[in-house]
A and B are shown apart, each in its own frame.
Chain A
Amino acid sequence: MDTALFEFCLRMGDNTLVLGHRVSEWCGHAPVLEEDIALANTALDLIGQTQFWLGLAGEVEGKGRDADTLAFRRDAWDFRSVLLVEQPNGDFGQTMMRQFLFDAWQSLMLDRLKDSSDVRVKAIAEKASKEVAYHLDRSRDTVVGLGDGTAESHSRMQAALDKLYPYVGELFGADEIDAEIAERGIAPLPADLRGAYDALIADIMAEATLTIPDSRWTHTGGRDGTRHSEHLGHMLTEMQWLQRAYPDARW
């Protein structure tokens, strides 16, 4: 089995799965109808991307597991999503800050994956990048609007950035899987995206009058599955409940 490619697809697909589920938790709870629908659209886009990534992961693995099996029949330690995406929604501002920090990374990554040496990876990136361009447009505007808004919205956005920034560094982690994937031209080394990422978020945070924390120290343990936060397990309990209680249920 092509372990490196399998792991790479899990990393991409678990990010979109976990964030997609998190964002879907807003359905029916957002502050205004327009944001409610917009968040649900984003969540659906992310779940759609998950079907492609985990579908490809199952194909690469070749043991008959499809996207649904990978999503609903793995436990927390088998997930390869970064810690950023499993963080709880918090208030609306925190959700949008998490979204922006992820969208910025994902748009840069997908842009590079459009040149992937693997045609399947390339095809997923082509499709997903249009959706993500819109996600980024929207989350960026909201971060700027709330950051440079009232005293209340500004302080909430600064608190959200302070809370979530220590999870950003994990997106740029490097291990032997990343090295092999980059060597084969499937994806860039994550660290290669950091310069463009830092420039992008510096621009937007300046516009939003928010201060990026000085420290680059980062939590890790999500993308290699060694140390997920407690939040992922709680999330999976809800997300996987039906398939756990009624295995193979279909409707």
Chain B
Amino acid sequence: MSKEWPLWEVFIRGQHGMSHRHVGSLHAPDAEMAIKNARDVYTRRNEGVSIWVVEAKHIAASSPSEKGPLYEPSESKVYRHPTFFDIPDDVGAM
């Protein structure tokens, strides 16, 4: 249906923290209306201080079928986590 409004993915930056997080999606005719709709649908309860929208078709995503080759190789490489060092007490909380 070409008459349907395109789908937009919505990212909101919360009261705390610097990053925008994906909160959901919605339909809108253009970017401006997508931001307005996002304001009405996703920030009614004071959830955010900034909104990003991006048309869903512009998001390039990894393929679920390649999950094995993409992610499994890192499962057996615990040495990549920085947990094998003795942290001097003077450093405090990290």
Contact = CB atoms under 8 A, between A and B. Distances in A.
Interface of B: 5, 26-29, 32-33, 36-37, 39-41, 44
Interface string A25-44: 00000001110011001000
A138 interface: yes
A138 B39 CA distance: 11
A41 B41 CA distance: 9
Given A34-B26, A34-B28, A138 B44 contact: no
A33 B32 CA distance: 17
B62 to A, nearest CB: 29
Contacts of A138: 36
Interface in A85-140: 134, 137-138
Contact of A41 (B27, B29, B33, B40): B40
A99 to B, nearest CB: 14
Contacts of A34: 26-28, 37, 40-41
Query: Ordered nearest first, which 3 A-B pairs have the shortest CB separation?
Result: A34-B37, A38-B40, A37-B40
A207 interface: no
A129 B48 CA distance: 20
Given A34-B27, A41-B44, 6 more contacts: A34-B26, A37-B41, A137-B36, A138-B36, A141-B32, A141-B33
Interface in A121-170: 134, 137-138, 141, 145
A138 B40 CA distance: 11
A110 to B, nearest CB: 20
Contacts of B37: 34, 38
Contacts of B41: 33-34, 37-38
B36 A141 contact: yes
20 contacts: A32-B27, A33-B26, A33-B27, A34-B26, A34-B27, A34-B28, A34-B37, A34-B41, A37-B41, A38-B36, A38-B37, A38-B40, A38-B41, A41-B40, A134-B39, A138-B36, A141-B32, A141-B33, A141-B36, A145-B33
Interface of A: 32-34, 37-38, 41, 134, 137-138, 141, 145
Contacts of A38: 36-37, 40-41
B29 A145 contact: yes
B63 to A, nearest CB: 30
B57 to A, nearest CB: 18
Q: Which of B28, B29, B33 has the most CB of A within 10 A?
A: B33
A41 B39 CA distance: 10
Contacts of B27: 32-34
B5 A32 contact: yes
A34 to B, nearest CB: 4
Contacts of A145: 29, 33
A141 B44 CA distance: 20
A33 B4 CA distance: 13
A37 B39 CA distance: 10
A141 B41 CA distance: 17
A145 B40 CA distance: 18
A134 B27 CA distance: 19
